[in-house]
Structure 1
Amino acid sequence: MQHLQDIETRLDQLISENRLLIAARDEAEDKLRNTTVARRKSDRALNTRDGDLRDRESEVEQLKNSVEWLQKEISRLTQENEGLTASNSALAAAHAAEVNSVRESSTRELADLQSQHNQLSSQIEDRVRQEIESALAQKDIELRRLRTELEEARDKVKELQQQIAASVHDNALVFRDEEYFDAACQKLCGHVQSWVVRFSKHNDKRRCRPLSELQDEKIADRFDNALLDGSDPDAYLSDRVRRRDVFMSVVMTMVWEYIFTRYLFGMDREQRQKLKSLEKQLGEVGPARAVHRWRATTLTLLSRRPAFAAQRESDTEAVTLEIFQTLSRILPPPSHVESQLLDNLRKIMRVAVNLSLEMRTQLAEFIMLPPLQPEYDTNGDLARQVYFNAALMNERSGLTNDNGELEAQQSIVRIVLFPLVVKKGNDVGEGDDEVVVCPAQVLVARPSKDKKVSRMMSGDRMSIDPTRSVHSIVQSITHSVAPSSMMDMSNVI
């Protein structure tokens, strides 16, 4: 390669010299022409300039000699250039052949390496697959063992529960555990959602009345308070899909207010106040376990009276009509489906009433906490936001599978679809430990406000670990739930 570069350099030099010679030749030819002209002039002035002519002829001879020499030099350089060109062509051909040879050799080596890589990859994949299958087999064996232990533990728990029930010699009480109330809350939530969807769909072609047109400010406040982040309720109600979330929140707030805040739903107010006062007096002098057993037994027996059943049915009908009329004020349903919707709502309210009675007749206190409400300052502006808390809430839109991520992002709660349900005390009515039975079902504020997502998720698991205590975190989540004092049943009338 160095020799080739030297030849190319020499060739460039020869070409440069050739150009110079050509320029000199052109210059000589120009001089020759000038000499011819001068000769003609000298012929005309031959008689007067003989001496000059001889000088000119001598100069012409010299120029001819120079031209001859230059022509010979040009011929020599031309031959040398042709030789260099031929040598360059031979070197280029040899270089191309060498490049092709190297390329073919590299291609063969690359093919060999690819073959070896594929073989190694196949071997590694087979080995990894075998190790994974072996690990999965071991995990399956461990899972089967754990399931067996879990079933044995469940059987033991059931046996202990039966022993506890037998030891108290009380056939009047029906004991339920957290899983039962979790499933019952899930069932109630699903029923209310299904009914709200049907109620809204019957009016798909109609728009809700603006809240400003409602004469009853209490009803307008119910819909306004359903949105915790300060969103415009009329904007939500104008959307035939998103308005279902507001309806759901309003219905469950009224269910909590009219059913789950009662000392015992279906009992007249005077009797409720007397029993509540008596329970408070007993709690001041007796052990909590005995007081809770007295409450559970007394309320269970009272709820079985025929007069109580009649009063309960009457109160259930009143709650049903109140909820239906509240929704109808903002979105009147077609007349031909009113009776059907009302009958379905009546059945759902009976489910809610039965759930509230079962919660009140347990030795432990099962409490549905009040739904979150927005707080406004004196200027009517939102005073604070409600942030998502993964320990006490579940995001029900289906847009995320990780509640912890929402808490880490400090997502803002927009709507509470179903209130938080907790258990206070153990199964025999002792202690003040608080555990989550059913987390609050909420929707968080999303950046994309126009995205429409179905809220119906019948298979959604609402519960989190029921053994997780909320006593230690209630004080730190004042922006998420009511304070711990709200869990005290002393506020129940």
Structure 2
Amino acid sequence: MNASHEKKTRGGIRVQGKSPIAAPPRVADPQRRANVREGSPTNSATSTNTTKASPGGGVAVGTPPHENEDAEEVDRSARDRKRIGELEKETLVLQEEFEKELTLLSHKLTHESETAAFWQKKYTALHQAFLKTDTDLKVLKQETEGTEGRDRDVKTRISSLILDRDAFREAFNEAMGEVRMREEEGRGLRDQVRSLKEFISSSSKGVEQVSDEGAGEVMQRLGNGLQNWVISNFRRVKIDIESLPDEIRDQISELVPTYISIAAISKIYLIQSLISMVLVQKIFQSYFAGLSEDEAEKLKATEETLSRYGSAESLNQWRSTTLSILHKTAPQRLLAETDNTITSTLHRINTLLEAMASVSTNPARDTSLKTLISNAIDLARLLRVQKAVFSIIMPEILEHQRTVFDASEMEDIGGGSEDDEDVEIGKREVRCVTFPGIIKHGDENGEQAHLRNVVSKARVLCGPD
């Protein structure tokens, strides 16, 4: 504002003083120029007329020529000054408009500079956060390379951090909001795994009865962990079921008979269904997970023999007491057989997935999957040592057989409500089972076998009519 005021003041000084615009050169009267070119006949005539003798013998005196020229010069000067004043006023107006426009553009330039500086600072901060996260991850990897005997919790966390780093790199240029969402998802997954380990560890310390809510919570966490593992590792992988070898096709068809129709709906649901069926067959349906087949058959035969002589309640107590002995010593005595079970289960799952999705072996992916398999073994053992009978529900979906949705035992992951009219009239059809459920028979003491409680519902996907 001071600069503008000074400029206006200077302009006013120029108006009062001498104008910076030079006066135009004098323009001769056209008649005078014509007289000059024609030899000034008019002036001659005027002179002649002026010098004529009057009748009285004197000379008649007319208007002198130089007085006319002075009058014309005065008129021209007045017109020139008037024109100069008008031009100076126009110049001042243009100068004020130019100064206003210059001030406006200066403000805009300042605003744009501040905006550019803000976004540059924002980008620098985000880039520094990315570099810090990447550096922290490299430090963690260096610390774990030469260390053996780390517990599974640390391995799971490292794998999750690697996944988070990859997700962060991919989503950094897309949106920072998505990065924060993935980090929260990773932290939630680590918390679920940590809570699951703590719960299984505390439950395996003694022969204590687990509540229905506790067993259901562990089963739900296991299902969530499997879902997150499939999404993290196979959400961008394409599957090809047309070119499968006959042997692999037969195995997949045995596990999931409707795999072709499920693949058309979602590859994620198909992979979850395959892994869930493998876990049910290899772990949950075994007599006691981690026990050799010969020993398991012997105990099973003994239980069948005792069932002919004793009541169901006493048989449940015998099974709980016997398997509790194995459960206490399982971490030491059954370590080798447990590792074999984990390895064989992992091998079968990888064989099916690598043939179907054309993916190679990934150590980080296998490590997190081993953790899920180990958690499934711990849960299966915990359920078997209970006096009540816990059974796994995994409905088999066949092409030629229609399976109707049962709201009491199933949970529709497709978003259907239990209050829908299709549920009431039994029209909702189950297309796929992505994770099994748990049903409890009897009470905590192994008695009242007629009691039945759904501890955890099976996760299914229903289709339209």
TM-score (norm 1): 0.49
Q: How does 1:263-412 map to 2 (within 5 A)?
A: 263-305=287-329, 306-334=332-360, 338-374=362-398, 382-398=399-415, 400-409=416-425, 410-412=427-429
In 2, the alpha carbon distance for the partners of 1:397 and 1:234 equals 15
In 1, the alpha carbon distance for the partners of 2:366 and 2:392 equals 25
Deviations 1:233-285 (A, max 9, x none): 4534xxxxx21011111110110011011010111111111111111222221
Q: How does 1:444-483 map to 2 (within 5 A)?
A: 444-446=462-464
In 1, the alpha carbon distance for the partners of 2:422 and 2:262 equals 24
* 1:245 alignment partner in structure 2: 269
Secondary structure class of the residue paired with 1:225: coil
Q: Which amino acid aligns with 2:413?
A: R
In 2, the alpha carbon distance for the partners of 1:406 and 1:357 equals 38
Equivalences, count: 256
Work out which of the residue numbers 236, 239, 249 in structure 2 matches 1:208: 239
Q: How does 1:10-29 map to 2 (within 5 A)?
A: none
Percent identity, aligned pairs only?
22
Deviation (angstroms), 1:293: 1.5
Deviation (angstroms), 1:304: 3.0
Work out which of the residue numbers 171, 194, 215 in structure 1 matches 2:228: 194
Is contact 1:387-1:412 (8 Å) kept?
yes
In 2, the alpha carbon distance for the partners of 1:288 and 1:234 equals 43
* 2:446 alignment partner in structure 1: 429
- Residue 179 to residue 233, structure 1, CA distance change in 2 (3 Å): closer
- Residue 175 to residue 429, structure 1, CA distance change in 2 (3 Å): same
Q: How does 1:54-203 map to 2 (within 5 A)?
A: 172-201=206-235
Deviation (angstroms), 1:364: 0.2
In 1, the alpha carbon distance for the partners of 2:286 and 2:227 equals 23
Deviation (angstroms), 1:213: 3.0
In 2, the alpha carbon distance for the partners of 1:272 and 1:334 equals 35
In 1, the alpha carbon distance for the partners of 2:258 and 2:273 equals 6
- Residue 334 to residue 279, structure 1, CA distance change in 2 (3 Å): closer
* 1:123 alignment partner in structure 2: none
Deviation (angstroms), 1:299: 0.9
Deviations 1:41-81 (A, max 9, x none): xxxxxxxxxxxxxxxxxxxxxxxxxxxxxxxxxxxxxxxxx
In 1, the alpha carbon distance for the partners of 2:347 and 2:437 equals 25
In 1, the alpha carbon distance for the partners of 2:234 and 2:314 equals 48
Is contact 2:405-2:429 (8 Å) kept?
yes
Q: Which amino acid aligns with 2:261?
A: D
Is contact 1:224-1:233 (8 Å) kept?
no
- Residue 440 to residue 370, structure 1, CA distance change in 2 (3 Å): closer
- Residue 187 to residue 287, structure 1, CA distance change in 2 (3 Å): same
Work out which of the residue numbers 199, 213, 219 in structure 1 matches 2:251: 219
Secondary structure class of the residue paired with 1:429: coil
In 2, the alpha carbon distance for the partners of 1:226 and 1:251 equals 15
Secondary structure class of the residue paired with 2:408: coil
In 2, the alpha carbon distance for the partners of 1:406 and 1:439 equals 19
- Residue 261 to residue 414, structure 1, CA distance change in 2 (3 Å): same
Deviation (angstroms), 1:222: 4.6
* 2:188 alignment partner in structure 1: none
- Unmatched segments (≥5 aa) in structure 2: 1-204
Secondary structure class of the residue paired with 2:444: coil
RMSD: 2.1
- Residue 283 to residue 406, structure 1, CA distance change in 2 (3 Å): same
Secondary structure class of the residue paired with 2:445: coil
- Residue 323 to residue 428, structure 1, CA distance change in 2 (3 Å): same
- Residue 179 to residue 226, structure 1, CA distance change in 2 (3 Å): farther
In 2, the alpha carbon distance for the partners of 1:342 and 1:226 equals 27
- Residue 334 to residue 383, structure 1, CA distance change in 2 (3 Å): closer
Q: Which amino acid aligns with 1:273?
A: E
- Residue 245 to residue 319, structure 1, CA distance change in 2 (3 Å): same
Is contact 1:172-1:297 (8 Å) kept?
no
In 2, the alpha carbon distance for the partners of 1:436 and 1:394 equals 12
Secondary structure class of the residue paired with 1:176: coil
Deviation (angstroms), 1:416: 0.6
* 1:136 alignment partner in structure 2: none
- Residue 181 to residue 406, structure 1, CA distance change in 2 (3 Å): farther
* 1:453 alignment partner in structure 2: none
Q: Which amino acid aligns with 2:216?
A: D
Deviation (angstroms), 1:350: 0.6
Secondary structure class of the residue paired with 1:232: helix
Is contact 2:313-2:446 (8 Å) kept?
yes
- Residue 343 to residue 226, structure 1, CA distance change in 2 (3 Å): farther
Deviation (angstroms), 1:211: 3.8
Q: Which amino acid aligns with 2:250?
A: K
In 2, the alpha carbon distance for the partners of 1:311 and 1:292 equals 25
Q: Which amino acid aligns with 1:383?
A: H
In 1, the alpha carbon distance for the partners of 2:385 and 2:258 equals 30
TM-score (norm 2): 0.52
- Residue 445 to residue 394, structure 1, CA distance change in 2 (3 Å): same
In 1, the alpha carbon distance for the partners of 2:390 and 2:319 equals 13
Is contact 2:393-2:458 (8 Å) kept?
no
Deviations 1:394-439 (A, max 9, x none): 11123x3335534125111111111231001111001222221111
In 2, the alpha carbon distance for the partners of 1:334 and 1:279 equals 44
Deviations 1:170-220 (A, max 9, x none): x9512101101110110011011011111213xx2x521224432313234
- Residue 358 to residue 224, structure 1, CA distance change in 2 (3 Å): closer
